[in-house]
Amino acid sequence: METRAPYVLIGAFVLAAILAVFGFVYWLNNTGGIGPRTTYRVQFQGPVPGLLVGAGVLFNGIRVGEVAELGLAQDNPRFVNATISVASATPVRPDTRVGLDFQGLTGVPVVALEGGTSVAKSGEVVTLIADAGAGQSMTQAARDALRRVDSVLEDNAGPLKDTIANFKTFSDGLARNTDKLDGIVAGIEKLTGGGASAPKRTYDLRAPQDIGPVGKALSASLAIPEPTAIAMLQTQRMLFSPVRDTPNFAEFLWSDSIPKLVQARLIDSFENYDIAHAPLRTDLGQADYQLLIDIRRFRIATDDEPRAEIVLSARIVNKNGGVIASRIIETSEKFDKVEPAASVEAFEAAFSHIAKELVHWTVASAGAE
Q: State the pTM of this model.
A: 0.49
What's residue 104's pLDDT? 66
3-state secondary structure of 253: strand
3-state secondary structure of 3: coil
Q: What is the separation, in whole angstroms, between the first and last Cα of the chain? A: 163
Q: Under 8 Å CB-to-CB from 133, ≥6 apart: which residues? A: 46, 141
Q: Where are the alpha helices (DSSP H) in the chain?
A: 7-30, 138-155, 157-176, 178-192, 258-273, 340-365
3-state secondary structure of 293: strand
Q: Is residue 332 a contact partner of residue 299, using CB atoms and an 8 Å limit? A: no
Highest mean pLDDT among 86-100, 211-225, 341-355: 341-355
Give which of 317, 315, 313 is closest to 328, Cα–Cα: 313
Strands 289-301 and 222-223: parallel
pLDDT of 132 over the 50 cut: yes
Higher pLDDT, 322 or 136: 322
pLDDT digits (tens, 9 = 90+) for 263-279: 999 999 988 888 877 88
CATH match for 201-365 among 1.10.10.10, 1.10.357.10, 3.40.50.720, 3.40.50.10610: 3.40.50.10610
Strands 108-114 and 56-59: parallel
Q: Under 8 Å CB-to-CB from 253, ≥6 apart: which residues? A: 200, 201, 202, 203, 236, 237
Calpha distance 42→127 (Å, rounded) = 6
pLDDT digits (tens, 9 = 90+) for 156-177: 888 888 888 888 788 777 777 7
Strands 289-301 and 252-254: unpaired
Q: How far is CA 70 from CA 42, 52, 97, 110, 148, in A?
A: 10, 8, 19, 13, 31
What's residue 1's pLDDT? 45
Domain boundaries 36-134, corresponding CATH code: 2.40.30
pLDDT digits (tens, 9 = 90+) for 178-193: 767 777 776 676 666 5
Q: Is residue 41 a contact partner of residue 127, using CB atoms and an 8 Å limit? A: yes
Count other Cβ atoms within 10 Å, centred on residue 175: 9
Calpha distance 92→234 (Å, rounded) = 78
Residue 178 sits at φ, ψ, to 5 deg, of -60, -45
Give which of 111, 109, 104, 106 is closest to 82, Cα–Cα: 111
Q: Is residue 53 a contact partner of residue 22, using CB atoms and an 8 Å limit? A: no
pLDDT of 33 over the 60 cut: no
pLDDT of 32 over the 50 cut: no
